[in-house]
Structure 1
Amino acid sequence: MKTYEYKYEDTNWKDKLTSFYDGKVAKQITYDAIGNPLTYDGYTYTWEQGRQLKSMTKEGSSSSFKYNDSGIRTEKTVNGVTTKYYLNGDQVAYEDNGTDKIYYTYDSDGSLVSMNLNGVEYYYIRNLQGDIIGLFDKNGTQVVSYTYDSWGKHDGKAELKDENGTIIQSGDIKGTLASTVGVKNPYRYRG
């Protein structure tokens, strides 16, 4: 059985988590004046306009973000690769990173119906809690499935199926199809 230890040692902000111990390593968390984390687990974070994440860096890795006037993220750059997000209102309608182009289709209630990755349409399937649990191709074959822990958190695992529905890989998202669809689908959560 794993034991976790959480510390809340800020005398002015009683419920602010200041450190976390997972049984192996204690991890300190520092914050700015309004509660945004500045450092945690080797990452350094910078913020703008209050709660908009501007950048995060860790040795060998860097990410930066841009937002529109409504505070919606319109661009991210991760290790030199920039992805631009094009909006229809407050929903992402299209994204482009120079290699992959993804278009999104929504129903009249604003829920995602499908994504078109580089000209190929994939359709979302949800569980009763609303979590996205997979993608189907135009033939009705489930090509990727996602799993969640007891609290609804995506656990980074997926199954990849062939055109006959046979599981050809399971575990971490791997393989040709999973790397082009499973990993590139940004909506692997309730949404």
Structure 2
Amino acid sequence: MPDGTTNSYSYDAVGNRTSETRNGVTDNFTYNAANQISTKNGTAYSYDKDGNLTQDENYKYEYNVLGQQTRITTLQGVEVARYEYDENNLRTKKIIGNETHEYFYESNNLSLEIIRDENGIKQYRYYQWDSAGTPLGMVIRDKDGSGNWQEKVYHFLTNHKGDVVSILDNNGNKIGSYTYDAYGNVLSETGVIAQENSIRYAVYYYDTESNHYYLQARYYNPENGNFQALDLHPGNAIEPLSQNDIHMLITTQ
């Protein structure tokens, strides 16, 4: 690992991760007939009739009739977040307590994020992408200490796997960075802007409230290496790149 730690994994015959050791701590997994996690360290996972994850060791999940995740709560029932989507299955809103994030897209790439609280709009985030879908950077527009609107420009550097690994200011100074393990867990994070930025591993959008990545079609938990729903757009066996499978992502890195 980039931070000097050693992670080890074991897999079954079809590629499901059956054990993982990180920092000396081992987690063990079992799977059901659909290759979904059945238990983690003896804690049972639950799914609905459509194969959507409804409970794991940390949260409970709710879905609408289209299979889109709409709400996360703690096991005790405390709301973590709510989500809304448009007719293209793209997330348009995230509500966390008194804060709302609104999302706007161009060619399925996130182009604008507006963050509001009880006092109104607190921040705009404009995202820039190239024609291949690689994130180039973002412009953040918010208010300074005097209440005046200001803009700051940031540039992203990605590695050959598509992970955002560094964030530069408009003068080319590195002011934020990340390292990841093979499954997308953040091993190290430097700089305030790195904490604020959400475009990270494999250019997925990171939800800090849940430690999950939003992949548009569904959500991904890097800690367990599992998707939380069956793929709404399953791939074609003769077109491997159409298959949204985390094992493919890892083995091709």
Instruction: Give unmatched runs, 5+ long, in structure 2.
Output: 1-23, 117-121, 142-150, 204-253
Q: 1:159 aligns with which of 190, 197, 206?
A: 190
1:28 equivalenced with 2:44 (yes/no):
yes
Q: 2:163 aligns with which of 131, 140, 147?
A: 131
1:17 equivalenced with 2:40 (yes/no):
no
Which position in structure 1 is the counterpart of 2:127?
Answer: 104
Q: Kindly tell me the number of residue pairs found equivalent between the two proteins.
A: 164
**Partner Cα distance (2:110, 2:170) in 1:** 22
**Partner Cα distance (1:114, 1:101) in 2:** 14
Whether the aligned pair in 2 keeps the contact of 1:113 and 1:124 (CA below 8 Å) is yes
Instruction: Give unmatched runs, 5+ long, in structure 1.
Output: 161-177
Higher mean Cα deviation, 181-190 or 129-138?
A: 181-190
Which position in structure 1 is the counterpart of 2:110?
Answer: 92
Q: Which amino acid aligns with 2:131?
A: S
Give the SS at the match of 1:97: strand
**Partner Cα distance (1:89, 1:108) in 2:** 10
1:3 equivalenced with 2:26 (yes/no):
yes
Note the C-alpha offset of 1:104. Answer: 0.7
Whether the aligned pair in 2 keeps the contact of 1:146 and 1:154 (CA below 8 Å) is no
**Partner Cα distance (1:74, 1:146) in 2:** 26
Give the SS at the match of 1:182: helix
Q: 1:55-98: CA deviations, max 9, x gaps?
A: 11114442110001010001010123110001223111111112
Note the C-alpha offset of 1:134. Answer: 1.1
**Partner Cα distance (1:18, 1:89) in 2:** 36
**Partner Cα distance (1:109, 1:101) in 2:** 24
Q: Which amino acid aligns with 1:93?
A: S
Pick closer, same or farther for the CA change 1:32–1:155 going to 2, 3 Å: same
Note the C-alpha offset of 1:185. Answer: 1.1
Structure with the larger RCO, 1 or 2 (CA within 8 Å, 6+ apart): 2
State the TM-score, normalizing by the size of structure 1: 0.78
**Partner Cα distance (2:202, 2:35) in 1:** 27
Pick closer, same or farther for the CA change 1:142–1:5 going to 2, 3 Å: same
**Partner Cα distance (2:133, 2:162) in 1:** 13
1:51 equivalenced with 2:71 (yes/no):
no
Which position in structure 2 is the counterpart of 1:185?
Answer: 197
Q: 1:98-124: CA deviations, max 9, x gaps?
A: 222100111222321110112101000
Give the SS at the match of 1:15: coil
1:117 equivalenced with 2:135 (yes/no):
no
Whether the aligned pair in 2 keeps the contact of 1:154 and 1:188 (CA below 8 Å) is no
Whether the aligned pair in 1 keeps the contact of 2:189 and 2:195 (CA below 8 Å) is no
**Partner Cα distance (2:156, 2:65) in 1:** 34
Note the C-alpha offset of 1:28. Answer: 1.6
